[in-house]
Amino acid sequence: MTTHPWRGFAAAAALLLASASPGSAQRLLEWPVRTAPGAEALVGGAAAAFWNPAAAAGPAAWRGEAMALDIEGSEAVGIRGVALAGSVRLGERTVVVGGYNHLGIPDIPYTEDSPAPSPLRPSIDVGGDLFTLGAAREVASSWWVGGTLRYWRESAGTFHRDAGMGAGIGFAYHATGPFRPSLGAAVFTGRAEPRWLVGTEVSAPAVGAREWRLSLGYGVAGAEAPRTVAHRISATSRWADVVTLAAGVDLEPDPGFAAVEPVVAASVRLGRYQIGVLREEIANGFGAAYYYRFHVTF
């Protein structure tokens, strides 16, 4: 996950540039809703509202799912957030998903280069909201297609306001059989990152009476030039669909520079409920981000 330290002079300069160019291609706050180390194109369940909508159904047969996610960036970055999402099956072949994501960086100090400095306003609060609504439909056995609409808004103190809309389409394939191969891809319009996603995953046959299973995944994601393509490689171990342990790396090669960001995650399912935690290293030595999530199925 490549990001920038939104503190002090660097934060003020970035905000000044954004406010001077409201039509720029990037939003002020771009931060992933991360629930697993694997390919984003195959993120299933309610969390698919923020990625590939066609992957929402997944191989599970739950009627619906709700998710709450707490996002905690490092002290160097200062970002905090929350994500809420839900998915509901309408019959056997249709799934509807929706999500809300809020991100914020409070108390960015003014400097002499900050816009409109004032002793009555010693700091700037940056915030952004993302709303998504999508649906997926099974068009053939194990093949799903989906679409999503996105609306976002953001602000930086009192001197910057912006909003916009976008859309996305995708597909997902979840095969049955001992190796359970999966494939997914999605593309998006509007000022969103990433602009496209591709991912695949394969699982080894279940071992033992408790059905221990190992999965390997690979995904790529890209944005508008000159941003680089990010590669995600992951391994996931599931025990009886109760305990899940996963690890991976996020690789973002740049000319003369390559970011290697380890990701680890763990979750436990207790009946209808699941809790999990994920830790992702932030590039450029800015510490790590933590994601704490809670799921309930019905």
Residue 214 maps to a domain: yes
Residue 21 within a domain: yes
In a domain, 1, yes or no: no
Tally the domains of the chain.
Answer: 1
pTM of the predicted model as reported, rounded to 2 decimal places: 0.85
Taking the CB of residue 290, how many other CB atoms lie within 10 A of it?
15
Q: Residue 65 and residue 57: Cα distance in Å, rounded? A: 10
Q: Tell me if 207 is assigned to some domain.
A: yes
Q: How far apart are CA 181 and CA 174, in angstroms?
A: 6
Helices (H), the chain: 8-20
Q: Which domain holds residue 244?
A: 8-297
Rounded distance between C-alpha atoms, residue 146 and residue 53, angstroms: 5
| CATH, residue 113 | 2.40.160.40
pLDDT tens by residue, 44-101: 999 999 999 999 986 555 789 999 999 999 888 889 999 999 999 998 899 999 999 9
- 69 falls within a domain: yes
Whether 122 is in a domain gets the answer yes
Residue pair 15/275 in contact by the 8 Å Cβ criterion? no
Predicted pLDDT of residue 221: 93
Report if residue 17 sits inside a domain.
yes
Per-chain mean pLDDT for the chain = 84
Q: Quick check: is 2 in a domain?
A: no
